[in-house]
């Protein structure tokens, strides 16, 4: 299970544990040998591979994240670069799944999902 922000990953792990589901935060010292659902941010997935991945919270307010994107009217070239970085972040998260991928959102889906015909 992966989400955009570390703070959300912490909440997801806590919610799983509260429901009796073992959760292991990616990057934790016990992560490699511990049993449970791996939970982390999209950034934490780089270089990893899992049989199944759930990419959650692909919402319009989280992706592209406004604070990570230079406004087009300030610098159109940097805006395009920032938008590509945001797309690449989602790409990395989604391509960590070997066999099965589930992408979810609440409220409005990210414009990237809409562009891709997913939402």
pLDDT of residue 28: 65
pLDDT of residue 60: 95
pLDDT of residue 45: 87
pLDDT of residue 30: 59
pLDDT of residue 29: 57
CATH of domain 2-115: 3.40.50.300
Domain spans of the chain?
A: 2-115
pTM of the model: 0.85
Q: In the chain, which stretches have pLDDT less than 50?
A: none
**DSSP sequence for 11-68:** HHHHHHHHTT--EEETT-TTTTT--SEEEEETGGGTT--EEEEEE---BTTTSS-GGG
């Amino acid at each position: 299970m992966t989400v955009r922000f570390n703070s959300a990953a912490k909440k997801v792990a806590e919610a799983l544990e509260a429901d009796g589901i073992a959760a292991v935060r990616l990057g934790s010292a016990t992560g490699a040998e511990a049993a449970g659902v791996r939970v982390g941010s999209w950034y934490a997935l780089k270089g990893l591979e899992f049989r199944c991945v759930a990419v959650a919270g692909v919402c319009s307010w989280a992706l592209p994240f406004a604070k990570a994107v230079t406004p087009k009217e300030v610098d159109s070239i940097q805006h395009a670069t920032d938008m590509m970085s945001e797309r690449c972040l989602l790409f990395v998260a989604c391509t960590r799944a070997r066999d099965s991928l589930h992408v979810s959102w609440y409220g409005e889906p990210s414009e990237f999902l809409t562009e891709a015909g997913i939402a």
